[in-house]
Copies of this chain bind each other. A is one copy, B any other.
Amino acid sequence: MTPSPLRIGIAGVGRMGRHHASNIAHRVLGASLVAACSPVADELKWARENLGTPDVYTDYAKMLAHPGLDAVFLATPTTLHADQIVAALEAGQHVFSEKPLALNLADCLRVEAVAAKHPKQVAMIGYVRRFDPSYRDAFAKIQAGVIGRPFRARSQTADQNDASGFFVRYAAASGGILLDMSVHDIDTVRWLLGAGGARRVFATGTIAVHEGLRDVPDVDNAVATIEFNDGQIATIYASRTMAHGHETLTEIVGTAGRLIVGQNPRLNRVEIADAHGVRNECTPTFYERFADAFQNEAQAFVDVIREGKPPPLTLADATEATRIGIAVTESLRTRKMVEL
């Protein structure tokens, strides 16, 4: 392990960026947050007040030139990921980017090509579930044969409804519900099933609540079926309209048993019995659900760099999630089955 902490700069200090920045600044061992970058004055103000004393930048290129910088964290809009990863790699930095890698395949492949020229630098995409203790336990159990050969998955990302419909205005830029939300599920089921690529997909959806999506066009609830090359089958559900909270859930069925991660999105260990029955409260957003996983993820990024190990997931994994995400999105839009 290298003796000195990894010097990290973060780009994007909005909602996700603040979580990542706080983790790096306060909770990740062997790392030091030395710079933050954002075009938004409020975000930089927050950074100065809450992250110790990192230098702040409004220009990403300038942050990359920060003296002694070892790595960057990207919590920027998806449309910027590919270019910013490339720039970081070319500036000699390790780079972590929030998912998805990109909304189109060309960008994914371009990033992979650049990364291939910088084999000593780590480039890792934030598929956070791979760092969640429960998902990791499920993966370990599957590897250990607890459920036999896994052949079927069901995975969902379901957000609590935001009655304000705030997200509608960003729907167009998100790539659609399946690229925005379900890439997580796509990566998760590939990982847990040990699946490679997909051969055909089918998706459909509906607008349950947010009529404003009709013009995007997008939906607020969608389902997809993915058939992988080796015959494994996954069904995916994405919803933006849950009443009870954020519910990320993955079921893996094998020949000797089944695992479910996240069945009931319990907020904590409190059970209430009252006039509403026996009940538990739920995690309101993905962040309460994955707070530990985000910390583990940042720690893993730092550890693989300091220990000179390969990252636990590759850019090719990220490309594959995007490739399948694009296919299910196409199926949703064209109303046809799509073969890959």
Contacts and interface: CB of A to CB of B under 8 A. Distances in A.
Interface string A257-275: 1111111111111111111
Contacts of A206: 151-152, 231-233
Given A137-B267, A268-B137, A273 B242 contact: yes
Interface residues of A, number: 70
A220 to B, nearest CB: 10
Interface in A112-169: 133-134, 137-138, 141, 146-149, 151-152, 154
Interface stretch (A82-90, A278-286, A304-312): A278-286
Residue of A27, A227, A270 ringed by the most chain B CB atoms within 10 A = A270
A209 interface: yes
A221 interface: yes
B261 A274 contact: no
A133 B267 CA distance: 10
A300 B264 CA distance: 30
A327 interface: no
Contacts of A277: 244-245, 267, 272, 276, 279-282
Given A223-B235, A336-B337, A337-B337, A278 B265 contact: yes
A268 B204 contact: no
A26 interface: yes
Interface in A206-258: 206, 208-209, 221, 223, 225, 227, 231-233, 235, 237, 239, 241-245, 247, 253, 255-258
B242 A258 contact: yes
B235 A258 contact: no
A24 B331 CA distance: 50
Contact of A337 (B202, B223, B258): B202
A278 B275 contact: no
Contacts of A266: 269, 278
B265 A134 contact: no
Interface string A312-340: 00000000000000000000000111000
Contacts of A269: 134, 261-263, 266
Contacts of A233: 204-206, 221, 223
7 closest pairs, A vs B, by CB? Answer: A279-B279, A257-B274, A134-B269, A244-B273, A134-B268, A202-B202, A258-B273
Interface of A: 26-27, 29, 133-134, 137-138, 141, 146-149, 151-152, 154, 200, 202, 204-206, 208-209, 221, 223, 225, 227, 231-233, 235, 237, 239, 241-245, 247, 253, 255-282, 335-337
26 contacts: A26-B29, A137-B268, A141-B270, A141-B272, A148-B243, A200-B335, A204-B225, A204-B227, A206-B231, A208-B255, A223-B225, A243-B256, A243-B275, A244-B257, A244-B273, A244-B275, A256-B274, A257-B273, A258-B273, A261-B271, A262-B269, A263-B269, A264-B278, A265-B278, A277-B281, A337-B337
